Amino acid sequence: MDEKQRKQLTKAVGRAIAVKRGEVGLSQEKVAEILGISREAVSRLETGVAVPSVVRLAELAEIFDCGIEELLTDASNRKLDQARKIFELIGDVSDEHREMLMNVFKQLTQSLVGKNNHKEKKTD
């Protein structure tokens, strides 16, 4: 993993932390109080300036009543993690609506793959 990928991952984990905090309705101040750190430290985690340790991720997961993997999977750019997230998102959707989503996803994917292939051909 190069430095750019590392920074992107750290920022994505920070965004996932911020989203989970918002979902449970806690302020940065409250999370800081629970963790025994400053509000600025929570802000640094959420903006990706600071990298949370595994222990800190476990503490945050406990506060947000979620699994540690949720904080990481939501931030992941790995295909398998993203596929799992899509699976989770469509889990409660009706069969009819899921079929509609799959058609939209297929069309969008084909369009994006076509654009990528077109760009690659132009640069050759």
Q: What DSSP designation does 51 have?
A: P
Q: What DSSP designation does 23 have?
A: H
| Cα angle: 108, vertex 2, 13; to 5 degrees | 65
Q: Nearest Cα to 35, choosing from 8, 11, 4, 58?
A: 58
Residue 119 has pLDDT above 60, yes or no: no
User: 24-74: per-residue pLDDT in tens?
Assistant: 999 999 999 999 999 999 999 999 999 999 999 999 999 999 999 888 877
